[in-house]
């Protein structure tokens, strides 16, 4: 239950509304407890042949008080339940803000589907605990206090005997409440796994169908659904036992009232009206006690869900903002900035369950190079050599464990993340597009639709877009599912260029386009990147021939550096990679043989 205390800051902006709702709860409980007391006089008056006028007046008072109590209860619900919706709204915004600020390490440890379950299903349970549960708890407590006060006034002995069976209620509520908490946590964890399965199947629908795995995936979901049903039934059995247990204890109190209270009436110690009134108060006391079980359930569910939400709210990003950010010098007129790596070493963060005694696998080791402002660096290497990791470090998707990266001489750790990333246009290997119009996707981050269209021209996408029925207003599916791989890559390239960044990072960004389109894109890129700093990683040498400097990565280390011509002449790793690519291109062209030696391009050391 301690996790629910974290909701206190969310109540503070609405404390007046909260206090007014509680005040209405108290007053409505007080007003609702008066009619049974008046009924006592009405019953006794009818037995004693009191004037009809007095009976009618008592009846009108009872009706009037019931109407007033009902109006107050409406206000109570309006304020407290409405308050829970506002808290839900604020909490949802904070959760989303946290999710957008957490780094790749966090998402490597938490599944997307489970996070979606937390910000939907768990948030709903927390809302119930922050509003309805508090309202019913206050109504229960104050209703019980006022009923008890009137019961004591009627007869103290009868009150004590009626409440004797109920001393076990706190123990039952505590024991069953803890069990509910544990089981509900289990249910929510399983629901998160189900949500992950659905999310992955929807995202990978093409793969599922291509491999004809519809029925196995349906069977997996059915099995998980059966597990979810079983866990919920396990929880419901406990929940079902809670209410009957409370009703049994309350019913024993009712039996005592009928037995002992009846003897008191016969002996003349209390009147018939007093016994009727006492029975009504016991009923008013019994219902809150029964409702206490439901309230306990709500609080336990809310506490379990809040604990899951705290994983997001308390999540710590390994990539931290600078405490006293420095500013970059004014951008040169050419538009580019210098970039430097100084003895940078990096390995991916360990999963929490990893054995810390096992040394990490270094992805980059002692990498150093300098890219002058307005020049292009090409990064070459086999798969797994660290090319993508190198580009991720520039945007601070991750931070290196050793060494420094500098932008115009300023360590990027000392820059604000906003300023750093405003300088960079990044095209990752896996292009991501939003389910929106092409125009919105191309201008994303630049707020200038004309810049997006200019980027489309550079990326050789404009002609394709003009052929679409809606042209730039064409809506694309989730992740750009209705575009080809090459079209998605070109759209991502156009989006990055539209920002007119100082540094452009291309991570194998043209791997899905054909060689003719690649040649056209590279031709226009030369003009678009003029004066800007670019770092391009690619397995196609054609994308890197014009780079001022090339570095070759192997197992995370820089093994060669130089220009295209000097590296060819050296006959080392770069030459080997280029020869392999030419062999692959020849096979793809189905020529059946390598090109003849000489000026046609076969490389010799």
Report pLDDT for 595. Answer: 45
Q: How many domains does the chain have?
A: 2
pLDDT at 147 over 90: no
Which residue range is the domain that position 386 belongs to? 339-423+501-588
Task: Please write the tens of the pLDDT for every residue from 406-456.
Answer: 998 899 998 888 888 888 888 887 777 787 788 888 888 776 778 888 888
Distance from C-alpha of 250 to C-alpha of 288, rounded to nearest angstrom: 10
Regarding whether 415 and 286 lie in a shared domain, the answer is: no
Q: What is the CATH number of the domain that holds 140?
A: 1.20.1560.10
Distance from C-alpha of 402 to C-alpha of 429, rounded to nearest angstrom: 25
Distance from C-alpha of 103 to C-alpha of 396, rounded to nearest angstrom: 9
In a domain, 593, yes or no: no
Distance from C-alpha of 513 to C-alpha of 543, rounded to nearest angstrom: 12
Report pLDDT for 177. Answer: 64
Longest dimension (CA), the chain: 128
In a domain, 104, yes or no: yes
pTM score: 0.73
Name the least confident of 85-94, 177-186, 528-537.
177-186
Beta bridge partners of 475: 437
Q: By C-alpha distance, which of 434, 468, 354, 350 is closest to 398?
A: 350
In a domain, 211, yes or no: yes
Between these two residues, 112 and 592, which has the higher pLDDT value?
Answer: 112
Q: What is the CATH number of the domain that holds 363?
A: 3.40.50.300
pLDDT at 599 over 70: no
Instruction: Find out whether 398 and 342 touch, Cβ atoms under 8 Å.
Output: no
Report pLDDT for 404. Answer: 92
In a domain, 573, yes or no: yes
Distance from C-alpha of 482 to C-alpha of 366, rounded to nearest angstrom: 42
Mean pLDDT of 193-200: 79
pLDDT at 556 over 60: yes
Regarding whether 344 and 198 lie in a shared domain, the answer is: no
Angle of helix 132-154 relative to helix 52-101, nearest 10 degrees, comes to 150
In a domain, 472, yes or no: no
Distance from C-alpha of 18 to C-alpha of 462, rounded to nearest angstrom: 57
Regarding whether 287 and 349 lie in a shared domain, the answer is: no
Calculate what percentage of the chain has a pLDDT beyond 70: 84
Q: 10 Å Cβ neighbour count for 483?
A: 22
Report pLDDT for 604. Answer: 44
Regarding whether 186 and 39 lie in a shared domain, the answer is: yes
Q: How confident is the model at residue 243 (pLDDT cuts 50, 70, 90)?
A: low
Q: 10 Å Cβ neighbour count for 103?
A: 19
pLDDT at 263 over 90: no
Sign, Cα dihedral of 420, 425, 426, 431:
positive
Between these two residues, 25 and 349, which has the higher pLDDT value?
Answer: 25
The tokens of 96 are what?
């989303």
SS (H, E, C) 166-225: HHHHHHHHHHHHHHHHHHHHHHHHHHHHHHHHHHHHHHCHHHHHHCCCHHHHHHHHHHHH
Report pLDDT for 597. Answer: 44
Between these two residues, 212 and 64, which has the higher pLDDT value?
Answer: 64
Report pLDDT for 342. Answer: 92
Report pLDDT for 489. Answer: 79
pLDDT at 605 over 70: no
pLDDT at 360 over 90: no
In a domain, 596, yes or no: no
Regarding whether 350 and 261 lie in a shared domain, the answer is: no
Regarding whether 267 and 181 lie in a shared domain, the answer is: yes
Regarding whether 538 and 412 lie in a shared domain, the answer is: yes
Report pLDDT for 293. Answer: 67
Please enumerate in sequence order all residues whose Cβ is within 8 A of that of 14, keeping only pairs 6 or more positions apart, or say none: 83, 86, 87
Between these two residues, 599 and 437, which has the higher pLDDT value?
Answer: 437
Report pLDDT for 345. Answer: 92
In a domain, 365, yes or no: yes
SS (H, E, C) 409-462: CEEHHHECHHHHHHCEEEECCCCCCCCCEHHHHHCCCCCCHHHHHHHHHHCCCH
Place of tokens 């070459």: 380
DSSP 315-370: ---SSPPPSS-B-PPPPPTTS---EEEEEEEE-PPPPTTS-TTSPP--SEEEEEEE
Task: Please write the tens of the pLDDT for every residue from 519-532.
Answer: 667 777 777 777 88
pLDDT at 338 over 80: yes
pLDDT at 600 over 50: no
Report pLDDT for 107. Answer: 79
Q: 10 Å Cβ neighbour count for 591?
A: 10
Regarding whether 300 and 414 lie in a shared domain, the answer is: no
Mean pLDDT of 35-53: 74
Regarding whether 511 and 413 lie in a shared domain, the answer is: yes
pLDDT at 341 over 90: yes
Distance from C-alpha of 578 to C-alpha of 597, rounded to nearest angstrom: 15
* Gap between the terminal Cα atoms of the chain: 72
Report pLDDT for 406. Answer: 92
Regarding whether 56 and 158 lie in a shared domain, the answer is: yes
Mean pLDDT of 485-496: 80
Please enumerate in sequence order all residues whose Cβ is within 8 A of that of 200, keeping only pairs 6 or more positions apart, or say none: 113
Strands 549-554 and 557-562: antiparallel
Distance from C-alpha of 203 to C-alpha of 518, rounded to nearest angstrom: 28
Q: Where is the domain boundary, 313, 348, 373?
A: 313
Regarding whether 76 and 185 lie in a shared domain, the answer is: yes
Mean pLDDT of 475-493: 76
Q: How confident is the model at residue 460 (pLDDT cuts 50, 70, 90)?
A: confident
pLDDT at 314 over 90: no
Regarding whether 402 and 512 lie in a shared domain, the answer is: yes
| Mean of the per-residue pLDDT values of the chain | 79
In a domain, 479, yes or no: no
Most confident listed range (430-444, 492-506, 511-525): 492-506
Q: By C-alpha distance, which of 426, 432, 443 is closest to 508?
A: 426
């Amino acid at each position: 239950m301690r996790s629910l205390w974290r909701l206190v800051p969310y109540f503070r902006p609405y404390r007046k509304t909260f206090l007014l709702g509680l005040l209405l709860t108290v007053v409505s409980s007080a007003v609702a407890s008066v009619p049974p007391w008046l009924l006592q006089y009405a019953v006794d008056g009818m037995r004693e042949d009191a004037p009809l006028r007095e009976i009618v007046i008592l009846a009108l008072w009872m009706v009037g008080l019931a109407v007033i109590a009902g109006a107050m209860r409406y206000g109570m619900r309006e304020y407290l339940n409405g308050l829970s919706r506002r808290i839900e709204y604020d909490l949802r915004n904070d959760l989303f803000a946290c999710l957008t600020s957490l780094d790749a390490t966090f998402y490597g440890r938490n599944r997307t589907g489970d996070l979606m379950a937390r910000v939907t299903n768990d948030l709903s349970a927390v809302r119930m605990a922050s509003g309805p549960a508090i309202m019913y708890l206050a109504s229960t407590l104050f209703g019980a206090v006022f009923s008890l006060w009137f019961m004591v006034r009627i007869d103290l002995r009868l009150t004590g005997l009626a409440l004797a069976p109920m001393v076990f209620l706190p123990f039952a509520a505590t024991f069953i409440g803890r069990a509910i908490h544990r089981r509900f946590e289990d249910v929510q964890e399983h629901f998160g796994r189900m949500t992950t399965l659905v999310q992955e199947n929807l995202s990978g629908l093409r793969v599922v169908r291509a491999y004809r795995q519809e029925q196995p995936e349906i069977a997996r979901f059915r099995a998980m659904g059966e597990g979810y049903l079983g866990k919920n039934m396990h929880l419901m059995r406990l929940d079902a036992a809670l209410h009957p247990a409370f009703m049994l204890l309350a019913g024993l109190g009712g039996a005592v009232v009928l037995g002992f209270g009846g003897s008191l009436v016969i002996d003349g110690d209390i009147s018939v009206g007093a016994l009727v009134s006492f029975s009504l108060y016991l009923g008013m006391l019994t219902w809150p006690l029964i409702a206490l079980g439901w309230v306990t359930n709500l609080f336990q569910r809310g506490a379990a869900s809040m604990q899951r939400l705290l994983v997001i709210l308390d999540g710590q990003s390994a990539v931290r903002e600078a405490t006293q950010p420095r500013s970059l010098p004014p951008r040169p007129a050419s538009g580019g900035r210098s970039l430097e790596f100084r003895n940078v070493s990096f390995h991916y963060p360990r999963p929490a369950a990893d054995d810390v005694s096992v040394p990490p696998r270094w992805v980059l080791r002692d990498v150093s190079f300098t890219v002058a402002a307005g020049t292009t660096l090409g990064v070459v290497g086999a798969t797994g050599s660290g090319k993508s990791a190198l580009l991720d470090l520039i945007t601070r998707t991750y931070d290196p464990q050793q060494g420094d990266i500098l932008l115009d001489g300023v360590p990027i750790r000392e820059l604000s993340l906003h300023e750093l990333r405003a300088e960079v246009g990044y095209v990752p290997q896996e292009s991501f597009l939003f389910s929106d119009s092409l125009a919105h996707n191309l201008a994303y981050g630049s707020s200038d639709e004309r810049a997006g269209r200019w980027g489309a021209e550079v990326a050789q996408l404009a002609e394709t877009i003009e052929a679409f029925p809606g042209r730039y207003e064409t809506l694309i599916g989730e992740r750009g599912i209705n575009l080809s791989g090459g079209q998605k890559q070109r759209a991502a390239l156009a989006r990055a260029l539209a920002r007119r960044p100082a540094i452009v990072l291309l991570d194998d960004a043209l791997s899905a386009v054909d060689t003719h389109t690649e040649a056209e894109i590279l031709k226009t890129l030369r003009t678009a990147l003029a004066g800007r700093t670019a770092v391009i990683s690619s397995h196609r040498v054609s994308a890197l021939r014009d780079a001022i400097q090339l570095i070759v990565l192997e197992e995370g280390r820089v093994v060669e550096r130089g220009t295209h011509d000097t590296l060819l002449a050296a006959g080392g790793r770069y030459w080997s990679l280029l020869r392999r690519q030419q062999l692959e291109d020849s096979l793809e062209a189905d020529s059946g043989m390598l090109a003849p030696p000489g000026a046609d391009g076969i490389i010799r050391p």
